Amino acid sequence: MSDNEKIKKHIIEITTELLNRYNGDTKKLTSRLIAEKADIGLGSINYFFGSKEKLITECIQRIINKMLKGFASDLTDLPKTDGLSDKDRLISWASQTFDFLFENQAIAGISILNDMQNYSAGTNSVYTQKGFVFALKGNKSGETKKLLVFILVSAMQAAFLAKNDAKEIIGYDLYSKPERDRFILNTVTMLLKGADSKENAADEK
């Protein structure tokens, strides 16, 4: 690892610590504070990352990636049998992810809004979708799996952004853990039924 890579890694680690300390309140994370805690020159942030905002975005992406790997440490090498149905597995992963959003609301809000403004294959949203695909081990087509998890993640994100009025909008108090779990259960159940109907119809043609 080069000296520049070591410095960049150090800045990311310090900024991530500060994000966790201040519960994602980026208003408290000034460039001066980050530079002081990381023991670097103030200009180093712009030099290595382009801006404080880009640095924070990269840190948030790492936090969320770590969260995803927490419930599926190696998504490409999951055991073939874990005793769970596709439905139960997807509900479990989605529930853990949804809980993370509510436990880290400031960080989650930044990540979701940033993804919506710059939606691409490298965003946290798409990474989450790719992770959820591995929960579906059944015989559904790749196209069906991708569409299903895209809709699921999009629904979770929209519900999170509407959390203060979710009870009125969608009928769930998302600040309540049991209500969040019910939202995930019902959403996954509806999506899997729809996916099964789509594939059965395709087989009949």
DSSP state of 170: H
Contact in structure between 82 and 42 (CB atoms under 8 Å): no
Dihedral angle of Cα 106, 111, 116, 121, to the nearest 10 degrees? -170
Domain boundaries, the chain: 1-62, 84-205
Instruction: State how far the Cα of 131 lies from the Cα of 68, in Å rounded to an integer.
Output: 7
- Residue 99: per-residue pLDDT: 93
Does residue 74 have a pLDDT over 80?
no
Does residue 70 have a pLDDT over 70?
no
Q: Which residues contact 72 (CB under 8 A, 6 or more apart)?
A: 78, 93, 131, 134, 135
96 Cα distance to chain centroid: 10
- Residue 72: per-residue pLDDT: 56
pLDDT band, residue 79 (cuts 50/70/90): low
- Residue 205: per-residue pLDDT: 52
Q: What is the C-alpha radius of gyration for the chain, rounded to an integer number of angstroms?
A: 19
CA angle 158, 26, 123 (to 5 degrees): 45
Q: What percent of the chain has pLDDT over 70?
A: 89
Q: Which of 157, 182, 24, 28 is nearest to 103 (CA)?
A: 24
Alpha helices in 3-141 (DSSP H): 3-21, 31-38, 43-49, 52-71, 86-103, 105-117, 124-133
**DSSP for 112-137, written as a single string:** HHHHHHS--TTSHHHHHHHHHHTT--
Instruction: State how far the Cα of 151 lies from the Cα of 172, in Å rounded to an integer.
Output: 18
- More confident of the two residues 99 and 82: 99
Tell me the average pLDDT of the chain. 87
124 Cα distance to chain centroid: 5
pLDDT tens-digit profile of 149-195?
999 999 999 999 999 999 999 999 999 999 999 999 999 999 999 88
Residue 17 tokens read as 């610590």
